[in-house]
Chain A
Amino acid sequence: MGAEGPGSGGGREKLRGEPESRRGAGEIGPSGQGAGGADRETPRLHLAPSPHIHTPDSTARIMWTVVATLVPIIAASTWFFGLSALLVIAFATLGALLVERGFGERGSLGDGSAVITGLLLGLTLPAGIPLWMAFLGGAFAIGFGKLIFGGLGQNIFNPALLGRAFLQAAFPTALTTWPALAERWTHVYASNLALPLLSPGKVDVVTMATPLGLMKFEHQGTDLLKLAIGNTGGSLGETAGLLILVCGAYLAWKNYLNWRIPVAIFAAVALSSAVLHAVKPSLPGAPFMLLSGGLVLGAVYMATDMVTSPVTNRGSWIFGVGVGLITVVIRLWGGLAEGVMYAILFMNALVPFIDQATRPAAFGTRAARKEVA
């Protein structure tokens, strides 16, 4: 939006007070000369609503910073699961980007949100998943998780998790086959290369149960230190708990994620599982529940997705506690070993109600009520 002030375009040579007739205003037009003085090239004036200064932060900067913090996590998963990890994440992201490019608004790739969706989806997948499935998941996540709702900011559910839920429904076996850790970081699992829609056959995958699976189906514990560092079975990004926490802390410090949500989730999981463990010692204790499965990744990167989490701080606490409790319930009593994904998706659906219920009271409305009473 730009407008050129009358008197800033021409008439620069005129002396002050000299007759001015360009606007047909008689001899006393408002501006007889350019504002910059008689002998200077007068700048072009721009109009815009206030405020005229702006925080240096931008949506694109937030998104790309999140992407940057995912890089070390991706590196760690490559260390544990070999090149397969990179390939799976790359294909998931490729699927997301192609759909965003093809069906999204023009230039929407630049805001970085589609990249985040692709990377996060990739991190929730097992290393041995056929690459075409990862690609399909990424495409579904953007197409049906985001664009169908109207694009950036409009979606109700976390797109990456919606993509994963789709894959889990469509390909349950592939999504729950957890290959053993790679011997070297250059390792590529044979099952990655399976062709679309063909049965992969029984490729020689050495599998390894996830800690949650061990707990649930075999009643076995896993060493907590291993859990924290990440050299256990599981999805690509769900193993490096400590690293994710460090990256999340950085984002929270930058105010790029609402720290209340992960804190509420961890607190709810820790408290509820500690109580349950005390009542029934055969159930796992708080440290195991916190470090196993996708809880850390989900709490730090998925539940804090701004679009699908509450805007109010009080709402964020409620949202986080809800995610934590539902996770514990699904893990301990549900048919699945892991429940973080469904817990977050379920709470996503409640966000509009949480927001409405926790909307702050306008300044002076409480006092007014008191005065009336």
Chain B
Amino acid sequence: MGTFHHGVHPPELKGLTAGLPIRRMPFPELLALPMRQHAGAPARPLVKRGDRVERGDKIGQAEGFISSSVHASAAGTVKDVRLWPHPDGSMAETVVIEVDPISPQGLRPRLVPEWEGLSPREVVEAIQDAGVVGLGGAAFPAHVKLAPPADASVDVIVANGAECEPYLTSDHRTMVEYPERVHFGLRIMMHALGVERAIIGVESNKPDAIEALRSTVPPDLDIQVQGLRVKYPQGAEKMMLESLLGRRVPSGKLPMHVGAVVQNVGSIAAIAEVFETGYPLIERIVTVTGPGIRRPANLIVPVGTRIADVLEFCGGMTQDAERIVLGGPMMGNAQPEPGAPVLKGTTGIVVLTGEAIARSRELACIRCGRCLEACPVFLDPADLGRLARAGRYDEMLDMHLSDCMLCGSCSYVCPSHISLSQMFGLAKAMTRKLERRRKEAEQAATGAAA
């Protein structure tokens, strides 16, 4: 069974929701749709206060190629376009829609594109137009991966069904309940990329998903379903390619450089939906779970639903709930603001209690070396942490800080409870800022010289 080197074994904790069928959540009364739900440029709002929108209408236009469009996930009236709390902790430009309480919420009739008649370019455009992004968390626009540069030769598509984060089961349920959709999405992607071969990688703790996918592979497609050893962060692109294909992505490069495109199974199912039904990406499957939620569930949630509304639908939080995490507990963000919305990239809402997050006081590094054993990209987190504390960011770059994925494995294993990955995230942000300043200074200097 395929695997990668290093990594950690956090408790899986998926039992709360792994067996629960996906249910649909009723429409909330209010939707907050940020224009920035994806990596790349934010979308440009197409509506203004007072506009009437139908479900599926485009309300934000992708700005440039690495960007994605945003659609209304319910019919209603635009109450405002304003700054609103974003799950990343900032305030972001957001279209706020008051949902029409008596609308049947049908989708406005929309032409379903016949995928066979479309050129690869038209497929890519249709996917961008439908606002499909990576649903595994990073929310990288899905169409960009389908339009590799001319010099890249892609020969295989990897469908990422690892779902290695503890607690989360949204991809798991997608694979169990909609395996055909995953295969159909792969078919579209293979068509767009001109690739003959696809592999679906699933961690072996989801045997029902592997079985469902295997038994539904269309006979005319070369799709393999492979089990993977359960280990975090198996779902990271580079780890996935090493585990499944033995291909190692060079430092600083993308999976394309080793001839592969990696896409999360949820996003592949969303691509399928675009061509099956014409739906843009206006809802997603969210795992609501954790010891601090009364009724855990796998829910279809309209994008833009406030976290508070989702929690309320799941019976609310328990008395001892202490932290709301968007995404999995290894990489997700703690939320200060239950009014922030569920985004396209929100895999789960995990409510943790004091017991689950108990941490002792941070102690000095005792150089036990566990972080080196954990780091899936073979960095030296102990030394990087020392440099980060001293603000020696240039030296951190020499030690390949840019290869750090912020997966949190080092922080997870550190017996001294040092927040290593937090320091690295900060250092990465600082180095980007310093780099930008340096460039600006250079430009100013050349401008003055000229």
Supply 16 further A-B pairs (C-beta < 8 A) apart from A307-B366, A364-B248: A7-B339, A16-B30, A32-B339, A37-B312, A37-B315, A43-B321, A44-B322, A45-B334, A51-B10, A51-B408, A51-B411, A55-B412, A153-B367, A363-B248, A363-B251, A364-B250
Q: Sample 11 A-B pairs with CB under 8 A, ordered by A number.
A: A35-B312, A36-B311, A48-B334, A52-B334, A54-B357, A54-B359, A54-B411, A58-B417, A310-B369, A364-B248, A368-B250
A226 to B98, CA, bound (A): 86
Chain B residues lying within 8 Å of A107, measured Cβ to Cβ, are 361
A158 at the interface (CB under 8 A from B): no
Interface string of B167-196 (1 = CB under 8 A from A): 000000000000000000000000000000
The answer to whether B308 touches A7, judged by C-beta atoms less than 8 angstroms apart, is yes
The answer to whether A362 touches B85, judged by C-beta atoms less than 8 angstroms apart, is no
- B21-66: which have CB < 8 Å to A? 28-30, 32
The answer to whether B413 touches A55, judged by C-beta atoms less than 8 angstroms apart, is yes
A47 at the interface (CB under 8 A from B): yes
Q: B255: shortest Cβ distance to chain A, in Å? A: 11
A30 to B306, CA, bound (A): 8
Known A17-B29, A43-B322, A363-B377; judge A54-B307 contact (CB<8 A).
no
Known A28-B30, A28-B79, A30-B306; judge A49-B367 contact (CB<8 A).
no
Known A29-B339, A258-B369, A312-B372; judge A152-B334 contact (CB<8 A).
no
User: Dominant SS at the B interface?
Assistant: loop
**Interface-located stretch among A59-67, A244-252, A268-276, A332-340:** A59-67
- B285-315: which have CB < 8 Å to A? 292, 306-309, 311-312, 315
A40 at the interface (CB under 8 A from B): yes
The answer to whether A5 touches B322, judged by C-beta atoms less than 8 angstroms apart, is no
Q: A248: shortest Cβ distance to chain B, in Å? A: 16
A154 to B376, CA, bound (A): 26
B111 at the interface (CB under 8 A from A): no
Chain B residues lying within 8 Å of A359, measured Cβ to Cβ, are 380, 383
The answer to whether A48 touches B357, judged by C-beta atoms less than 8 angstroms apart, is yes
Known A7-B339, A364-B248, A367-B250; judge A50-B30 contact (CB<8 A).
no
The answer to whether A153 touches B316, judged by C-beta atoms less than 8 angstroms apart, is no
Q: B275: shortest Cβ distance to chain A, in Å? A: 35
Chain A interface bracket (under 10, 10 to 19, 20 to 34, 35 or more): 35 or more
A-side interface residues toward B, CB under 8 Å? Answer: 3-8, 16-17, 26, 28-37, 40-55, 57-62, 107, 111, 113, 151-154, 255, 258, 306-307, 309-313, 355, 359-365, 367-368, 371
**Interface-located stretch among B142-150, B198-206, B323-331, B440-448:** B323-331
B336 at the interface (CB under 8 A from A): yes
Looking across the interface, which residue of chain B has its beta carbon closest to that of A363? B377
A8 to B413, CA, bound (A): 33
Q: B334: shortest Cβ distance to chain A, in Å? A: 5
B84 at the interface (CB under 8 A from A): yes
Q: B241: shortest Cβ distance to chain A, in Å? A: 10
The answer to whether B366 touches A364, judged by C-beta atoms less than 8 angstroms apart, is no
The answer to whether B364 touches A50, judged by C-beta atoms less than 8 angstroms apart, is no
The answer to whether B366 touches A360, judged by C-beta atoms less than 8 angstroms apart, is no
The answer to whether B319 touches A30, judged by C-beta atoms less than 8 angstroms apart, is no
B2 at the interface (CB under 8 A from A): no
Looking across the interface, which residue of chain A has its beta carbon closest to that of B386? A153
A365 to B411, CA, bound (A): 23
The answer to whether B324 touches A45, judged by C-beta atoms less than 8 angstroms apart, is yes
B106 at the interface (CB under 8 A from A): no
Q: Which one of A59, A313, A360, A368 has the highest number of Cβ atoms from chain B below 10 Å of its Cβ? A: A59
B394 at the interface (CB under 8 A from A): no
Chain A residues lying within 8 Å of B335, measured Cβ to Cβ, are 5, 45
Q: B360: shortest Cβ distance to chain A, in Å? A: 5
Instruction: Sort A-B residue pairs by CB-CB distance and give the 7 closest, nearest first.
Output: A30-B339, A31-B339, A35-B338, A363-B377, A49-B422, A153-B364, A51-B408
The answer to whether B369 touches A50, judged by C-beta atoms less than 8 angstroms apart, is no
Interface size of B in residues (CB-CB distance below 8 Å): 90
The answer to whether A53 touches B308, judged by C-beta atoms less than 8 angstroms apart, is no
Chain A residues lying within 8 Å of B413, measured Cβ to Cβ, are 55, 57
Known A151-B364, A153-B364; judge A34-B415 contact (CB<8 A).
no
Chain B residues lying within 8 Å of A152, measured Cβ to Cβ, are 363-364, 366
B365 at the interface (CB under 8 A from A): yes
Looking across the interface, which residue of chain B has its beta carbon closest to that of A150? B364
Q: B82: shortest Cβ distance to chain A, in Å? A: 8
Chain A residues lying within 8 Å of B329, measured Cβ to Cβ, are 50-53
Q: A2: shortest Cβ distance to chain B, in Å? A: 9
The answer to whether A50 touches B330, judged by C-beta atoms less than 8 angstroms apart, is yes
B332 at the interface (CB under 8 A from A): yes
A5 to B326, CA, bound (A): 15
B245 at the interface (CB under 8 A from A): no
B164 at the interface (CB under 8 A from A): no
The answer to whether A62 touches B306, judged by C-beta atoms less than 8 angstroms apart, is no
A367 to B365, CA, bound (A): 32
Chain B residues lying within 8 Å of A255, measured Cβ to Cβ, are 370
Chain B residues lying within 8 Å of A30, measured Cβ to Cβ, are 32, 84-85, 306, 337, 339-340
Contact of B378 among A46, A54, A55, A360 (CB under 8 A): A360
Chain A residues lying within 8 Å of B321, measured Cβ to Cβ, are 36, 43
The answer to whether B323 touches A45, judged by C-beta atoms less than 8 angstroms apart, is yes
Looking across the interface, which residue of chain A has its beta carbon closest to that of B325? A52
The answer to whether A46 touches B306, judged by C-beta atoms less than 8 angstroms apart, is no
A60 to B415, CA, bound (A): 8
B72 at the interface (CB under 8 A from A): no
The answer to whether A8 touches B338, judged by C-beta atoms less than 8 angstroms apart, is yes
Chain A residues lying within 8 Å of B98, measured Cβ to Cβ, are 17, 28
Looking across the interface, which residue of chain A has its beta carbon closest to that of B400? A362
Interface string of B86-101 (1 = CB under 8 A from A): 0000000000101000
The answer to whether A35 touches B403, judged by C-beta atoms less than 8 angstroms apart, is no
The answer to whether A61 touches B415, judged by C-beta atoms less than 8 angstroms apart, is yes
The answer to whether A57 touches B312, judged by C-beta atoms less than 8 angstroms apart, is no
The answer to whether B319 touches A41, judged by C-beta atoms less than 8 angstroms apart, is yes
Contact of A46 among B312, B316, B322, B364 (CB under 8 A): B322
Looking across the interface, which residue of chain B has its beta carbon closest to that of A153? B364
Chain A residues lying within 8 Å of B370, measured Cβ to Cβ, are 255
Q: A67: shortest Cβ distance to chain B, in Å? A: 15
